[in-house]
């Protein structure tokens, strides 16, 4: 890592958006920086093993469960663990209320914008905020949810999210022990507990409705 440069990770695959973000980074930067671009959380996930360090992470790439090798929540958890002091800028394609609640509670986002509410003014403000020494920015729907008391599914942990993630990708239950490092019996217990907690027999539909995927 080059000394005295702010290290920035941008996760996006659309060339036009990458060019726009590069322009805004340059416009609002108040420190020299070095930019690393990855096209998805799958490729960005490999950086953890390489010991890369980042001061700012911008996650803009549209999350596609079927294409991803890791759940978004697992990635964000690893990101926060590896870079506890980094500023996190999330542009999300999910406007699910329960999803927003989980993101707000679990990941200490500095900027959290929804694609459906995105405009040039809001985007520019986000890049301005990410370079400031303090401050946060949330798009209108996110801000409204944040300003009201809310509850999230606290009994749903990250292993549960990973379990649901692999089931969504049509992974057979018998193959889950290797992926989750749990016994088959423990996995079945978790599935039954999730069905009870979510009050459903259709785990995947309930997971989507509750913003767990």
* pLDDT (tens digit per residue) in 84-123: 889 999 999 888 888 898 888 888 899 999 999 999 999 9
Contact, 7 vs 36, CB < 8 A?
yes
Rg (CA), the chain: 18
**Side-chain half-sphere CA neighbours of 77 within 13 A:** 11
**What sign for the dihedral angle of Cα 160, 161, 163, 164?**
positive
Angle at 146 between CA 152 and CA 111, to 5 degrees: 110
Taking phi over 0 as left and psi of -120 to 50 as alpha, with beta for the rest, 127 belongs to: alpha
Structural domain boundaries in the chain: 6-146, 158-209
* 152 pLDDT above the threshold of 90: no
Tell me if 102 sits within 8 A of 73, measured CB to CB. Answer: yes
Q: What is the C-alpha to C-alpha distance for residues 130 and 160, in angstroms, rounded to an integer?
A: 32
- Check: CATH 3.40.50.2300 for 6-146? yes
pLDDT for residue 7 is more than 50: yes
**Average pLDDT of the residues of the chain:** 88
The helix (H) or strand (E) run that includes residue 193 is helix 184-198
pTM above threshold 0.85: no
């Amino acid at each position: 890592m080059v000394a005295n440069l702010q290290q920035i990770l941008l996760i996006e695959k659309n060339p036009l958006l990458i060019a726009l973000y590069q322009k805004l980074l340059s416009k609002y930067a108040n420190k020299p920086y070095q930019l690393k671009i990855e096209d998805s959380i799958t490729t960005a996930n490999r950086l953890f093993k390489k010991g890369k360090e980042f001061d700012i992470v911008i996650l803009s790439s549209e999350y596609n469960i079927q294409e991803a090798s890791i759940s978004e929540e697992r990635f964000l958890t690893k990101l926060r663990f590896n870079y506890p002091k980094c500023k996190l800028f999330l542009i999300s394609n999910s406007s699910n209320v329960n999803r927003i609640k989980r993101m707000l509670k679990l990941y200490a986002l500095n900027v959290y914008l929804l694609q459906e509410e995105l405009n040039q003014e809001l985007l520019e403000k986000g890049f301005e905020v990410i370079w400031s020494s303090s401050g946060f920015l949330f798009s209108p729907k996110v801000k409204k949810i944040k300003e009201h008391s809310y509850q999230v599914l606290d009994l749903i942990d990250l292993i549960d999210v990973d379990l649901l993630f692999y089931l969504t990708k049509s992974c057979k239950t018998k193959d889950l022990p290797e992926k989750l490092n749990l016994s088959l019996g423990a996995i079945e217990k978790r599935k039954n507990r999730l069905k009870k907690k979510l009050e459903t027999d259709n785990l995947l539909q309930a997971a989507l409705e509750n913003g767990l995927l």
